[in-house]
Amino acid sequence: MGFTLYQTGLLPGLPDKLVFDRDAIAVGEFFRLLSARYGESVLAEILDHEGKVTEDTMLILNGQVVRPPKILTTMIPAGSELVISTLIAGG
């Protein structure tokens, strides 16, 4: 069944929508998969030098914001939609 990734240009060289034919996978493992498939630079905008998701990156899994410290260990179930975007604030 897999899952779908939507991204807003934060991951250079990747289309805005990607479908992955994987069952459940942790976000951190998924990032390693992306890095292996598309090169380490693909994650440069969303991971800091320690491999943690930057404060200005937002992950939304099935309509729910995934918050630290659980981001990298959160499971992406089959059939899910994961959105990676820049955190937008304003007022």
Domain residue spans in the chain?
A: 3-86
Is pLDDT above 90 for 30?
yes
Handedness of CA 83, 4, 34, 23 (dihedral sign): positive
Percentage with pLDDT > 70 across the chain: 97
Buried b (16+ CB within 10 A) or exposed e, 31-41: beebeeeeeee
Evaluate whether the domain defined by 3-86 bears CATH number 3.10.20.30: yes
At 8, the pLDDT band (50, 70, 90 cuts) reads confident
Q: Report which DSSP code applies to 52.
A: P
At 66, the pLDDT band (50, 70, 90 cuts) reads very high
